[in-house]
Amino acid sequence: MLTLSRLSPHVLYMPADDPDRPALCAVTGSRGTLMLDAAASDAHARLFLDELRDEDIPAPRFVALTHWHWDHVFGAAEIGAPVIAQRQTAAQLRVMAGQSWDNAALAARVQSGEEIAFCEENILLELPEPRHVRIAQADIVFDGHLSLDLGGVTCEIHLVGGDHAADACVMHIPEDGVLVLGDCLYDAIYAPVRHLTHAKLLPLLDRIASFGASVFVEGHGREPNSADSMAELIAKMRAACAVTTDSATSSDDALTAYERVTGHVPDEDARELIAALIAGHAFA
């Protein structure tokens, strides 16, 4: 059961859930509420809006998107607030508004390689047919950075990119030390093989660390990350990068090197990271 909880003085949080519902946040200031990410469907958005109402929080004055993927944007029309989006995200919303989202159209796009089976499967679960998808368009468009003064609290949106999506943005709430990461740390899913590249991941890790946040919200995390758990994840990612720099490294050699470098047997996360980084050499 998804419920809203208070993450920090000005931020409310609903964790990610099945089938592919991302975490959602509300930043609450004296001048208004900002919703972070627009939910995977009208029903998902409604759940969040109803929880806000039950907590006597004013309905969102704006909703800001972390990136264009369906599960982060399909609920925007139901929210009904002006949509804030990075320029590339806004362009993708225009493309999506011109597409058909019924099962046959989705299957055809998966067949042509335009859509991926992972998203098709999850759209079918989140939104059984008959499916009415409304793609809200961006009202406020920015390029690199946008700052919102919500009254006693600010939200700074930064384009960070990365392998997962070129338009990936993070939202920093400096007064509360909260950083909303969206899906930026995840692998590239719109590719023939899921992967991560050293060239995109390493600068992104530096950028994330540079905010000095104490609470982190990952797009599909079931709970927020503390500074310690995020530092641990970043260290794991850096170690996985360090043992896969040579494009000729085999998976076995990288796993052995990882254990030698970190003193830990690679866990499932480390194994996945190493596999994704090795696969990434083909896309560098």
**Of residues 69 and 198, the one with the C-beta less far from Zn ion:** 69
Least CB distance from residue 254 to Zn ion, whole Å?
26
**Of residues 78 and 183, the one with the C-beta less far from Zn ion:** 183
Least CB distance from residue 72 to Zn ion, whole Å?
6
Least CB distance from residue 242 to Zn ion, whole Å?
26
Residue type for position 122: N
Least CB distance from residue 255 to Zn ion, whole Å?
27
Least CB distance from residue 183 to Zn ion, whole Å?
4
Whether the CB-CB separation of 215 and 252 falls below 8 Å is answered with: no
Task: For residue 123, count other CB atoms closer than 10 A to its CB.
Answer: 23
**Of residues 22 and 60, the one with the C-beta less far from Zn ion:** 22
Where along the sequence are the contacts to Zn ion (CB under 5 A)?
69, 183
29, 49, 251 from 57: Cα distances, Å: 10, 9, 50
* Nearest CA among 57, 42, 25, 46 for reference residue 136: 42
**Of residues 165 and 274, the one with the C-beta less far from Zn ion:** 165
Whether the CB-CB separation of 204 and 170 falls below 8 Å is answered with: no
**Of residues 69 and 236, the one with the C-beta less far from Zn ion:** 69
